[in-house]
Amino acid sequence: SSELEAEKYRVLKTAFGFDAFRPGQEPVIDAVLAGNDVLAVMPTGAGKSLCYQAPALVLGGLAVVVSPLIALMDDQVAGLRLDGVQAEAIHSGKSREDNVASWRRVASGEARLLYLAPERLMTARMLAALGRLPVSLVAIDEAHCISQWGHSFRAEYLALGEARAALPKARMIALTATADQSTRDDIVAKLFDGRAETFVAGFDRPNISIAVQDKRDTGEAIERFVAARPDQSGVVYRISRKKVDDTAARLQSAGVKALAYHAGMDAAARAAAQEAFLAERGVVMVATVAFGMGIDKADVRYVVHGDAPGSLEAYYQEIGRAGRDGEPAEALLFYGLEDIRTRRRFIDEQDAAPERKRVESRRLDALVGFCETTACRRQALLAYFGEVSPPCGNCDVCLDPPEVIDATEEARLLLTL
C-alpha cells in the first residue's frame, strides 16, 4: 500500500540516515512488505542487512534474525543501536544475566529486532516463547549456511523449518552472498518448501554509458549536451531550486522542450510537468532530487548531473532512470570541487550524531574517488556495491584513457639515448 511505501522511505531516511536505497534493496524490501517469502542473493557489502531491518521497522512487532556468528550479531546490534533502533542479541558469548536482560526487553516489546544463533532458535522453549510475541518477520542471514548445515547438522536445519511452523504469522526472508545455483535451490527447498520469490542482484546496467566531466560553465555545457540530442527524453538534475529554474529557462530559450520540477512548485504544477514528461516525446526534465521516485519511463535517453549528487547510492539510483528499455543511454556528471565542499558543509552543519557525520563523510569520499578514478568508471561504481567486474568499454575512461606517463618506458628510453 502507499502507506507502507511512504513508511519505507521514512525509515530509510530517519532511522538509517540513508538518502537512497542501494541497487537491489528496494525490490527485496517491497516483496517482504507484500508478504512474500523471499530469497535475496546480493554481493557482500551490497547492503543485505537493510533488506530485513527496514521491513522490521515498517512492519512493527518483533523481527527475529538468525545469524551464524556471534561477532556478526554483536556488530549488527551495535550498529542498530547507534541508529537508535532497539536491538538485542542472545547468544553464548554473553553472560546469563545479560541474556536474561535482553530477553526481558524482547518480551516487554521494547526490542524491534532479536538476533539469535540457529541452535538457540531451535530450542522448544525459545520457539514457544516467541510464539507468544508478535513476531512479524524471521530473517535468515548468511543463509548459505543452511545448505552446509543441512548436510552436516540435520537437527539445526530442521529447527529452521520448525521456526516457520511455530511462527505462522511471520514473513520470512533468507539472505546470502553465495550466488551458486545449487546452494540457492537448496535454501529455497529447505526453508520455503521450494517456493520463494528469489532476487539475484546484478547491478550493472551496461547500456548506460558513464562519463564525468570537469565542471566549468555548467549552464552552457548542459545546453550544448541537450541541444546535441534533439527529440530525446532526458533528465537534468540540479542541486537547488534556483539552478533548476535557471537551467530550465535557458534550455527553453534555446528552443528545447524543457520543464522544471522541484519541491518549491505547487503540487498541481509538479503533476502537470511529470505528466508531460511521461506522455510527450522529447521532453527534458530539469529537476532536483525531488523528481524521480516511482517514475517509470522506458525511453529516457540520458541523465545529466549538473551538480554532484549526494552519494554514489543516489548517483546510481538517479542514472538508473535512463535506458530502462535496454537501448543505449547516457549518464553525464559535471564534477567540481566546489560542489564537494558544499556537500561537506551540509554534512558538518547538520544536527546529527558524530558517527553519522563520519559515515556520510566517508560516502562523500567514495563519490570523490569515483569522479577522480583513472580506471574504469563502471568498475569503480560496481566495486563500491560489492560487485567485481572487468573494465566496461562504455565509460569515458575506457573509451578515452587518461594519458599516464610510463616512467619505466621513459627510463628505458633515456638509457638507450
Binding interface with ligand ADP (CB under 6 A): 18, 21-22, 25, 42, 44-50, 313
Q: By C-beta, is 82 or 337 nearer to ligand ADP?
A: 82
CB of 130 to Mg ion, least distance (A): 22
- DSSP code at position 216: S
CB of 21 to ligand ADP, least distance (A): 5
- DSSP code at position 115: E
- Alpha carbon distances (Å) from 7 to 30, 47, 58: 12, 19, 6
292 grid coordinates: 524521480
**Dihedral through CA 140, CA 145, CA 150, CA 151, nearest 10?**
180
Q: Which of 284, 227, 295, 240 is nearest to 259 (CA)?
A: 284
Q: By C-beta, is 243 or 378 nearer to Zn ion?
A: 378
Q: Are 332 and 395 in contact (CB under 8 A)?
A: no
- Scanning 40-48, 82-90, 359-367, 383-391 for contacts with Mg ion by CB under 5 A, the matching segment is 40-48
Q: By C-beta, is 8 or 243 nearer to ligand ADP?
A: 8
354/352 Cα distance (integer angstroms): 6
Q: Which of the listed partners (Zn ion, Mg ion, ligand ADP, none) does 398 bind, with a CB threshold of 5 to 8 Å by partner kind?
A: Zn ion
Q: By C-beta, is 48 or 301 nearer to Mg ion?
A: 48
CB of 49 to Mg ion, least distance (A): 5
CB of 293 to ligand ADP, least distance (A): 14
| Interface of this chain with Zn ion, residues 375 to 394, rule: CB under 5 A | 376, 378, 392
Q: Assess 395 for contact with Zn ion (CB under 5 A).
A: yes
Question: Grid coordinates 545469524 are at which residue?
Answer: 67
Q: Which amino acid is at 288?
A: T
CB atoms within 10 A of CB 269: 14
Q: Are 64 and 39 in contact (CB under 8 A)?
A: no
CB of 302 to Mg ion, least distance (A): 35
- Chosen residue from 22, 48, 305, 377 binding Mg ion by CB under 5 A: 48
Interface residue list for Zn ion (CB under 5 A): 376, 378, 392, 395, 398
Contacts with Mg ion by CB under 5 A lie at 48
